[in-house]
Amino acid sequence: MNVNILAVGDVSGQGGLDFLCARLRAVKKLKNVAFTVANGENVSMKGITPRQAEDMFCAGVDVITLGNHTYGRNSIIPFLDDSSYILRPSNYAPQNPGRGWGVYDTDFGQVTVINLIGRCGMNFGTENPFFEADKILKSTNTKVTLVDFHAEATSEKLAMAHYLDGRVSAVWGTHTHVQTSDATVFPGGTGYITDLGMTGPVNSVIGVRPEDSISMFLGNPPHRYEAAPGPCKIECALFEIDPDTGRTVSVEPLRIM
């Protein structure tokens, strides 16, 4: 029997977190979701606190992935070492706190979740994510393997999906906060979408108040971004996967308002 795995786009701001807590379990029940991964690096706009991570777990998230704002809140650093259910990008330098991938027991068998960060336009001196993926895949042999590729460039995300096609079950992009319309299953059975989108304020510029973003593009003096108020949404994708082969059967982008 195939299983449904839900990948949730970057949870942005307290409003996004509150909406996730209010709606996720109903979505999981409606879609018969067996396992959920959500990106949480923007819950505090830049970073996430241990309390916010615990709230995401209580909401029904099984594994939290992060990205370029992993260390935006110092309080998360001990939590990254203590909990195996929150991941930072694996291709960060090895001395960084936390872990970049994990193997998790589920009702349908073991699942590997890998968190990687891109290098195009990210201004981070990270290791090559393609080589890092190779290294991890040599260390695990689970049928179902999921990859959150936190990257800016659509070309880098697509290249990663082609590179891993047939070797992992799914690759999805995070970071740009805008859901793309290219959900597909590659010839080798790897499900893919360039960006899941965002869980956060509907009337915003990728989660922040429009006036804050406009001010930056006008060249005004920088100031701290604030989360936009108002109604929120969950953007995500549902991957139907055959747990016996690890191949994705279908990908369905979702938007819950």
Residues recognised as catalytic: 69
Q: What is the rounded CA–CA span in Å between residue 16 and residue 238?
A: 19
The separation between the first and the last C-alpha atoms of the chain, rounded to the nearest angstrom, is 30
**What are the backbone dihedrals phi and psi of residue 110, each rounded to the nearest 5 degrees, phi first?**
-80, 145
How far is residue 256's CA from residue 172's CA, in Å, rounded to a whole number?
Answer: 18
User: Dihedral through CA 20, CA 21, CA 27, CA 33, nearest 10?
Assistant: 100
Collect all residues with Cβ–Cβ distance below 8 Å to 220 and sequence separation of at least 6.
none
Which residue type is seen at 160? M
Q: Helix 154-164 and helix 129-137: axis angle, to 10°?
A: 30
Give CA–CA dist 79/201, Å, rounded. 27
H or E segment to which residue 114 belongs: strand 109-117
Q: In this structure, what DSSP letter does residue 31 have?
A: T
**Strand order through the sheet with 109-117:** 101-106, 109-117, 144-150, 170-174, 191-193, 184-185
